[in-house]
Amino acid sequence: MIVLGIETSCDETAAAVLDGGRKVLSSVVASQDDVHAPYGGVVPELASRRHLEMIVPVIRRALAEAGVGLRDLDGIAVTQGPGLVGSLLVGCSAAKALAWVHGTPIVGVNHLEGHIYAAFLEERVPDFPFLALVVSGGHTALYAAETARRYARVGQTRDDAAGEAFDKVAKLLGLGYPGGPAIERASLGGDATAIRFPTATMSDRAMDFSFSGIKTAVSLHVRRAGSLSAAQVSDVAASFQATVVKMLVKQTVLAGTRLGTRRVVLTGGVAANTHLRQMLERACGERGWELLVPSPRLCTDNAAMIAAAGNDRLEAGERAPLTMNAIPDLALA
Ligand code: KG4
Ligand code: ZN
């Protein structure tokens, strides 16, 4: 089955073609970083406008690189939510137009399920059941994946997403946008033990996260310091990164222990972070758990992961009507 995936939930216009749900024939990602960088974060109205300009060329390129035409498609999978409504609408409208013209079956895919399916595009794929830590710019949550297409949310952030904290702290430190890669680069020469930022603990023993406290702590530290040298910026970046990673690993281990997990999937944009990959690898290794992490380019937003999730839904007989629409707060579990 040849499936076209379309992803426009945030600030990447992406299209990909998959063969058999696992073989990536093409994966095109048009980044909007240049549009949003001056603002230090995604501006929804500008994102929708850029999606409108890019959606047709990006789909065309994905088809051309895969060497397939619209008539060769057995299905179209499009991100239905969660995400920015104006951005989601562009992808959904394009998918529905193609489906209507060519009579192609379509399915709506949950963006977070897409992130989890990125793990199925690697050589070593996860067996069910597994625990998934989805950590991105808009979401930070733990899901217990029992069987295909069945998820239970066991924990989530109570305020900011981890990626959002990376982006905001990078802005505070004048490191530019997107913040995650910028913090990771800046932290390379820094001392991760230089500043002790607070870690959030849940008084109700919940397997949740909170990143607003550390964001405020960094903001206070920067204000108190007045001006920071490059070396001091590196220390703040490294200390912040280490603290966020510590919190992510701690709650994942807590959830895994309580659930009797043997396998963990780490995915989402922040999963591209080397320190997080290493620390979770170590924590899982110590417990005899298998850790599966997609390669960095599959962790950040792309349409191959959407096509992979959509392929399974199409194979299971799922079809979306042409009245399907964007759902900005679509839940996974
Ligand atoms: O999954 P994603 O591409 O988009 C959303 O669904 O949100 O995640 C984007 C987020 C941004 O906040 C970005 O700063 C963060 O992932 N990110 C990183 C790294 N690369 C991207 N965070 C930490 N370290 C990285 N290397
Ligand atoms: Zn994402």
The tens digit of pLDDT for each residue in 240-282 reads 999 999 999 999 999 999 999 999 999 999 999 999 999 999 9
CA of 179 to the centre of ligand 2 (A): 15
Q: How far is the CA of 301 from the centre of ligand 2 (A)?
A: 5
Residue nearest to atom 8 of ligand 1 (CA): 269
Confidence at residue 289, expressed as pLDDT on a 0 to 100 scale: 98
| Residues with C-beta less than 6 Å from any ligand 1 atom | 10, 136-138, 163, 166-167, 178-181, 184, 268-270, 272-273, 300-301
> Ligand 1 mean position to 192 CA, how many Å?
20
Name the pTM for this structure.
Answer: 0.96
Q: What's the pLDDT at 333?
A: 82
In sign, the C-alpha dihedral spanning 186, 31, 2, 68 is negative
Q: How far is the CA of 83 from the centre of ligand 2 (A)?
A: 9
- Comparing CA positions, the residue from 143, 165, 130 lying closest to residue 269 is 165
Closest CA to 113 of 99, 132, 127, 96: 132
Q: Identify the pLDDT of residue 40.
A: 85
Other beta carbons within 10 Å of 6: 28
Q: What is the pLDDT of residue 41?
A: 87
Q: What is the pLDDT of residue 32?
A: 96
The protein residue whose alpha carbon is closest to atom 22 in ligand 1 is 180
Ligand nearest to the CA of 176: 1
State how far the Cα of 37 lies from the Cα of 204, in Å rounded to an integer.
38
Q: Which contiguous run of DSSP H or E holds residue 207?
A: none
Tracing tokens 């426009």 back to the chain, one arrives at 8
pLDDT at residue 205, as a whole number: 86
Q: Residue 190: what are its φ and ψ, rounded to 5°?
A: -90, 165
Q: Is 191 exposed, middle or buried (0-12, 13-18, 19+ CB in 10 A)?
A: middle
- Ligand number with the minimum distance to the CA of 298: 1
**What pLDDT, in 10s, does the model give residues 216-230?**
999 999 999 989 999
Pocket test for ligand 1, best of 164, 214, 249, 270 (most atoms within 8 A of CB): 270
- Distance in angstroms (rounded) separating the CA atoms of residues 100 and 95: 9
Instruction: Kindly give the distance from the C-alpha atom of residue 299 to the centroid of ligand 1, in angstroms, as a whole number.
Output: 8
Which CA distances in Å does 132 have to 119, 151, 193? 10, 9, 29
Residue nearest to atom 1 of ligand 1 (CA): 269
Whole-number Å distance between alpha carbons of 18 and 42: 29
Distance of CA 134 from the midpoint of ligand 2 (Å): 9
Indicate the average pLDDT of the chain.
97
For each successive 10 residues of the chain (333 residues), what is the average pLDDT?
98 98 98 92 96 98 98 98 98 98 98 98 97 97 95 97 96 94 97 96 92 96 94 98 98 98 98 98 98 97 98 97 97 90
Strand order in the sheet with 150-156: 150-156, 140-147, 130-135, 263-267, 290-292
Best residue among 32, 36, 136 to mutate for probing ligand 1, ranked by most atoms within 8 Å of CB:
136
d(C-alpha 14, C-alpha 109), whole Å: 14
